[in-house]
Chain A
Amino acid sequence: MSNEAKDLLGNVLTADERELLELYTRLKAMSARDDLPPVATANVKQAMVMLWNACNDLAIVHEEPGCD
Chain B
Amino acid sequence: MSQTESPYWNPKTETLPKEQLRLLQLAKLQRLVDRAWHTSPFHRRLYEKAGVTPDKIKTLDDLRRLPFMTREDWMACQAEKPLFGDLITRPEDEAIRYHLTSGTSGRQPLRVLDSRKDWSWIADMWCYGFWGFGIRPDDKVFFAFSYGSFIGFWGAHYCCEKLGCLTLASGNMTTEQRVKQIVELGVTVVCATPTYALRMGQTAEKMGIDLRRDGKVRRVVVSGEPAGSIPAVKKMIEDMWGGKCGDTAGMTEIGTIMFFECDHQPGGPHIIEDHFIEEVLDPDSGEPMAYGERGERVVTSFGRGFIPLLRYKTKDLVQKVPHTRCSCGRTGDLYEGGILGRVDDMKLVRGTNVYPRAVEAVVREHPEVEEFQIILSRKDNVQDEISVKVELKPDQQDCWPRLQAQLGKDLADAHEGLRFNVELAAQGELPRFELKAKRLQDLRPQY
Residues of A in contact with B (beta carbons under 8 Å apart): 8-9, 45-46, 49-50, 52-53, 56-59, 62-68
Contacts and interface: CB of A to CB of B under 8 A. Distances in A.
Interface in B109-137: 115-117, 119-121, 124
A16 B125 CA distance: 22
Contact of B120 (A9, A52, A62): A52
A49 B35 CA distance: 19
B218 interface: no
B27 A8 contact: yes
Q: Which of B13, B31, B120 has the most CB of A within 10 A?
A: B120
B356 interface: no
A65 B274 CA distance: 19
Interface string B9-28: 11011000000100110011
A65 B117 contact: yes
A52 B302 CA distance: 14
Q: Which of B12, B20, B96, B119 has the most CB atoms of chain A within a 10 A radius of its CB?
A: B12
B116 A49 contact: yes
A46 B124 contact: no
Nearest to A67: B116
B99 interface: no
Contacts of A9: 20, 23-24, 27
A9 B10 CA distance: 16
Interface string B303-322: 00100000000000000000
A68 B24 contact: no
Select the residue from B27, B90, B116, B305 with max chain A CB neighbours within 10 A: B116
Interface of B: 9-10, 12-13, 20, 23-24, 27-28, 31, 35, 89-90, 93-94, 96, 115-117, 119-121, 124, 274, 302, 305
Nearest to B21: A9
Nearest to A68: B94
Main SS class of interface, B: helix
A68 to B, nearest CB: 4
Nearest to B28: A62
Nearest to A10: B23
Given A9-B20, A62-B27, A57 B117 contact: no
Contacts of A50: 120
Contact of A66 (B10, B12, B90): B90
Nearest to B29: A62
Contact of B116 (A45, A58, A62, A63): A45
A50 B28 CA distance: 19
A61 B363 CA distance: 48
Nearest to B26: A8
Contacts of A67: 116-117
A58 B10 contact: yes
B20 A53 contact: no
A49 to B, nearest CB: 4
A50 B35 CA distance: 22
A58 B28 CA distance: 12
Contacts of B124: 53, 57
Contacts of A46: 116
B117 A59 contact: no
Contacts of A45: 116
Nearest to B123: A53
Contacts of B117: 49, 52, 64-67
Given A9-B23, A57-B10, A64-B89, 10 more contacts: A9-B27, A53-B120, A53-B121, A58-B10, A59-B24, A62-B302, A65-B117, A66-B117, A67-B116, A67-B117
Given A9-B20, A56-B121, A59-B12, A64 B305 contact: yes
A59 B28 CA distance: 9
B156 to A, nearest CB: 16
A45 B116 CA distance: 8
Contacts of A52: 117, 120
A42 to B, nearest CB: 10
A49 B120 contact: yes
